[in-house]
């Protein structure tokens, strides 16, 4: 189980890749990564509303000038990862070109990302994909 708040599914995918690629003494044929977001309590809605983070229209307008916050939703997603040597004919529907994970460390505020840390992570995954 991995709990890194909003990044848990991404971190789990990265850990899965590392384990499948580098754990020679515990070689696995596959790993399953699953992420679930359930909204079971009203507290986060109250806190996010008070912070002005939720959309007043109930919709997210990503990369749009009309954006006024984001909308929360419940979801579940899963993926099975296997090294290419274990592929079956017709079973590959995608390829994980690369993954990286890091942490922001100290930033200006709790919700402000660290630009240098994100740049470092993006550059690392781009190098891995080349």
Number of domains in the chain: 2
What pLDDT score does 101 carry? 93
Beta 31-37 vs 75-81: how paired, if at all?
A: antiparallel
- 3-state SS assignment for residue 93: coil
Helices (H), 1-130: 8-22, 43-50, 115-129
Q: How far apart are CA 82 and CA 8, in angstroms?
A: 20
**Mean per-residue pLDDT, 5-20:** 90
Identify the pLDDT of residue 127: 96
Domain extent, residue 120, equals: 100-130
Give the closest residue to 36 by CA, choosing from 2, 84, 83: 2
**Statement to judge: residues 42 and 85 lie in one domain:** yes
Cα 71 from Cα 74, distance rounded (Å):
10
pLDDT at 123 over 70: yes
User: What is the predicted pLDDT for the residue at 92?
Assistant: 78
How confident is the model over 55-100, as pLDDT tens digits? 999 899 989 999 999 999 999 999 999 888 777 766 778 889 999 9
65 and 127 in a single domain? The answer is no
- Say whether both 80 and 33 belong to one domain: yes
């Amino acid at each position: 189980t991995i709990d890194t708040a909003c990044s848990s599914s991404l971190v789990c995918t990265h850990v899965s890749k590392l384990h499948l690629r580098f754990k020679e003494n515990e070689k696995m044929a596959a790993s399953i990564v699953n992420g679930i977001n359930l909204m079971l309590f009203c507290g986060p809605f109250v806190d996010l509303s008070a912070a002005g983070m939720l959309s007043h229209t109930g919709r997210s307008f990503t990369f749009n000038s009309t954006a006024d916050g984001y909308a929360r939703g419940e979801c579940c997603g899963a993926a099975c990862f296997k090294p290419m040597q274990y592929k079956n004919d017709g079973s590959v529907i995608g390829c994980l070109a690369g993954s990286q994970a890091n942490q922001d460390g100290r930033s200006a505020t709790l919700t402000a990302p660290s630009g240098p840390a994100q740049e470092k992570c993006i550059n690392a995954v781009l190098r891995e994909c080349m």
